[in-house]
Amino acid sequence: MNNLRNRLANLESKIPARVTAKPQTEPADSQVVARFDAFFSAVSPQQERKVFDALFPFASDKPDMPHHGLSLWFLEVAAGKAFCPSRIPPEVMTIYLDDPAAQPRNECAACGLRLPIRPGRQGGPAMVNYFSTCPVCGGKVQWYYEHGNRHNARKV
């Protein structure tokens, strides 16, 4: 038994000391909270409750079907990977709320706003492009991956 204790003590002496420093997550957390607040501040007051219920159905007294496209865009904004204007045009939010198949796959070439489309399916419904110009700045709308801003949130 002493031999085992000696071997364990020898092994423990070779293991580097554990890092006891507190991980620095607070600045990142505060940035996410700030982006969360900015997103909801940008939503029109008339749509704010519907958007909240769509994004957080578990917290709603009226759970609705999932809005995956809206959730994806919201998470990218919260992570700092997508642009959020100071005012989200109500027509953009209406599409996300009314069309559960809407996805943020288009982007404004000028301001970087992610805009919804309804993806098409082979042998099924055709793709629907809801916007040809950006409702925020009037810029050209194009396929999200063409523009090369995939992970760069813009500040306008």
For the stretch 34-49, pLDDT in tens is 888 999 999 999 999 8
- SS3 of residue 64 by DSSP: coil
pLDDT value, residue 11: 67
Q: Contact at 8 Å (CB) between 107 and 117?
A: no
Query: Is the pLDDT at 155 greater than 70, yes or no?
Result: no
- The answer on pLDDT for 146 being more than 60 is no
Q: 117-131 pLDDT, tens per residue?
A: 998 877 777 789 999
User: What is the chain's percent helix, strand, coil content, to nearest 5?
Assistant: 40, 15, 45
Q: Helices marked H in the chain — which ranges?
A: 2-14, 26-42, 48-55, 68-78, 90-98
Of all residues in the chain, the percent with pLDDT exceeding 70 is 72
Q: pLDDT grade, residue 61 (50/70/90)?
A: low
Give the residue, 141 or 67, on which the prediction is more confident.
Answer: 141
Average pLDDT over every residue of 70-97: 92
